[in-house]
């Protein structure tokens, strides 16, 4: 495995550009998957043998950062290459101190991704791609504007990744599209850390004739899920259900280190489960002769925290367990088994894909192409923004080896991610000049985003229907 910069790759020492650009794109977003819980990102537990094997044959971005610690803004950035404060598909609620959890009626997922924004699926559809998506969870849905550009978009249509993958391959086999975008949004790593089930409300549209098959297959999947028991000796109150997690997340609840270990083991079990199906996806593409014509992207929208900085699950913070996501991209004809160590962001994914596909990018994208050589040899230091919600005003700026966080109240944190990767020591007091510099840099970026957002569409409120509300409840977001 080689660790390398994009500039070095651009010298052509490893890249061997194909004569024709790749034809298709498969995008897999594993919701809530933090990078450091995959073997290929250094995890000691065997959570991800098949993802690791895939990465060995791909470009792996070792330092990829998410623009927000929760699904809607982050995913909208991935799909548009615009930051949350510009695309505005985010929350106007104060997501402070678990308000969203304990006073769920105060929680408002404010706006959807406006139709005026161009998404990856729209650009590819207009370039002649057949576009198909199967998503799990609430935010990746049409209610929040994320179905734009998909000819077929299946929302919580099946109980999970196995069934969505079967449907994807059935579609590919029947349609035999000349070019395609296939998007899978996977929820099994997200809390609750329990096996999949057929939910009466959410899955009422399952074909009644196929119910015996679904029941049998769900039973199989439950066994597969439970098989990866990373902490078999545990005896205690943690079971990974949503009720259980909310109880432990409550401020002031005493949580034993042993119980946190179990929470992590349960989370890891979901990763091992998804890993199996990512492997099946790769095998399925290979069997169909599509693997060497297709860009395959595996990433996540944000991570998950286990009290590293006092909280459980996700939504609020900007620490590495939350923002550092896997980004593994296999491009036919591109260098393989290479680790790119530069800091990159989910905001860069769309321009990179368009560059590899040789499709012109629309004006105004806020990311850059990660195609080796695209940025030239002397790419300037990039800093990536973290924007959790618009109202609260907490922001983060993340550059190579450093992170600056500023709360809406003006509290500041600065971390040296090389010397202090766990972000234990706030260096603002020792390095006031650096803090001043990053504060100014952040203010500049905020002003720039505000100016751009003003030129774009007015945010449009998301109308949350009963099915979405039910799904949000199942994920622990609403009451």
Q: What is the DSSP letter of 291?
A: G
Nearer to Zn ion, 78 or 130 (CB): 78
User: Helix axis angle, 211-227 relative to 161-175, nearest 10°?
Assistant: 130
The half-sphere exposure of 267 on its side-chain side, counting CA atoms within 13 A, is 25
Nearer to Zn ion, 6 or 189 (CB): 189
Shortest gap between Cβ of 301 and Zn ion (angstroms)? 4
DSSP letters, 175-242, are: H--SSEEEEEEE-TTSSS-S-----TTTTTTS-GGGHHHHHHHHHHHHHHHHH--S-TT--SS----H
Residue number of the CB atom closest to Zn ion: 71
Shortest gap between Cβ of 212 and Zn ion (angstroms)? 32
Q: Environment class of residue 186 by beta-carbon count within 10 Å: exposed (0-12), middle (13-18) or buried (19+)?
A: buried
Contact (Cβ atoms closer than 8 angstroms) between residue 302 and residue 70: yes
Nearer to Zn ion, 40 or 189 (CB): 189
Shortest gap between Cβ of 284 and Zn ion (angstroms)? 25
Shortest gap between Cβ of 177 and Zn ion (angstroms)? 28
Q: What does the radius of gyration of the chain's CA atoms come to, in whole angstroms? A: 21
Contact (Cβ atoms closer than 8 angstroms) between residue 48 and residue 412: no
Nearer to Zn ion, 141 or 369 (CB): 141
Nearer to Zn ion, 301 or 413 (CB): 301
Shortest gap between Cβ of 446 and Zn ion (angstroms)? 24
Q: CA 199 to CA 185: how far, in whole Å?
A: 18
Other Cβ atoms less than 10 A from the Cβ of 36: the count is 13
Shortest gap between Cβ of 371 and Zn ion (angstroms)? 27
Shortest gap between Cβ of 416 and Zn ion (angstroms)? 28
Nearer to Zn ion, 31 or 305 (CB): 31
DSSP lists the bridge partners of residue 405 as: 396, 413
Nearer to Zn ion, 139 or 356 (CB): 139
Shortest gap between Cβ of 73 and Zn ion (angstroms)? 10
Nearer to Zn ion, 52 or 301 (CB): 301
Phi, psi of 398 (to 5 degrees): -125, 120
Nearer to Zn ion, 72 or 82 (CB): 72
Residue 393: closest CA among 344, 322, 347, 449: 449
Helix and strand numbers, DSSP H then E, in the chain: 14, 17
Shortest gap between Cβ of 146 and Zn ion (angstroms)? 12
Nearer to Zn ion, 322 or 405 (CB): 322
Angle in degrees, CA 389, 391, 397, rounded to 5: 50
Interface with Zn ion by CB under 5 A: which residues?
Answer: 31, 71, 301
Residue 261: closest CA among 246, 248, 274: 248
Q: CA 342 to CA 64: how far, in whole Å?
A: 8
The half-sphere exposure of 424 on its side-chain side, counting CA atoms within 13 A, is 5
Shortest gap between Cβ of 302 and Zn ion (angstroms)? 5
């Amino acid at each position: 495995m080689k660790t390398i910069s994009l500039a070095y790759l651009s010298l052509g020492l490893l890249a061997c550009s194909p004569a024709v650009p790749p034809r298709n794109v498969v995008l897999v977003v594993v919701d809530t998957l933090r990078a450091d819980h995959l073997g290929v990102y250094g995890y000691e537990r065997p959570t991800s043998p098949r993802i690791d094997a895939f990465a060995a044959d791909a470009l792996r971005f070792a330092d990829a950062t998410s623009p927000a610690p929760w699904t809607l803004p982050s995913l909208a950035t991935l799909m548009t290459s615009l930051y949350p404060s510009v695309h505005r598909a985010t929350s106007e609620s104060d997501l402070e101190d678990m308000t969203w959890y304990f006073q769920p009626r105060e929680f408002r997922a404010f706006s959807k991704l406006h139709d005026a924004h161009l998404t990856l699926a729209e650009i590819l559809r207009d370039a002649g791609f057949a576009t198909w998506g199967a998503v799990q969870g609430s935010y990746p849905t049409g209610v929040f504007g994320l179905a734009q550009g998909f000819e077929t978009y299946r929302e919580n249509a099946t109980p999970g990744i196995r069934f969505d993958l079967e449907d994807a391959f059935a579609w590919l086999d029947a349609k035999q599209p000349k070019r395609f975008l296939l998007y899978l949004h996977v929820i099994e790593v997200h809390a609750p850390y329990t096996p999949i089930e057929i939910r009466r409300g959410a899955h009422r549209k399952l074909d009644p004739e196929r119910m015996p098959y679904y029941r049998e297959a769900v039973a199989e999947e439950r066994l597969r899920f439970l098989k990866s028991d990373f902490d078999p000796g545990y005896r205690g109150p943690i079971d990974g259900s949503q009720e259980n997690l909310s109880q432990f997340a409550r401020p002031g609840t005493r949580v034993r280190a042993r119980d946190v270990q179990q929470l992590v083991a349960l989370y890891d079990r979901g990763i091992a489960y998804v890993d199996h199906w990512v492997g099946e996806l790769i095998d399925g593409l290979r069997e169909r002769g599509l693997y060497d014509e297709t860009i395959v992207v595996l990433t996540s929208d944000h991570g998950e925290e286990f009290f590293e900085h006092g909280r459980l699950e996700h939504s609020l913070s900007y620490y590495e367990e939350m923002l550092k996501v896997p980004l593994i991209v296999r491009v036919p004809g591109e260098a393989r088994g290479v680790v790119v160590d530069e800091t990159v962001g989910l905001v860069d994914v769309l321009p990179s894909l368009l560059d590899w596909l040789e499709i012109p990018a629309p004006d105004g994208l806020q990311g850059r192409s990660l195609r080796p050589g695209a940025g030239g040899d002397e790419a300037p230091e990039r800093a990536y923004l973290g924007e959790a919600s618009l109202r609260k005003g907490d922001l983060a700026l993340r550059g190579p080896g450093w992170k600056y966080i500023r709360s809406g109240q003006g509290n500041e944190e600065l971390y040296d991610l090389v010397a202090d990767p766990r972000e234990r020591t706030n260096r603002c007091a020792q390095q006031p000049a650096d803090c001043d510099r990053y504060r100014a840099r952040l203010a500049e970026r905020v002003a720039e985003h505000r100016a751009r957002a003003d030129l774009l569409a007015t945010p449009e409120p998301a109308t949350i229907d009963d099915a979405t509300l039910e799904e949000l409840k199942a994920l622990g977001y609403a009451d």
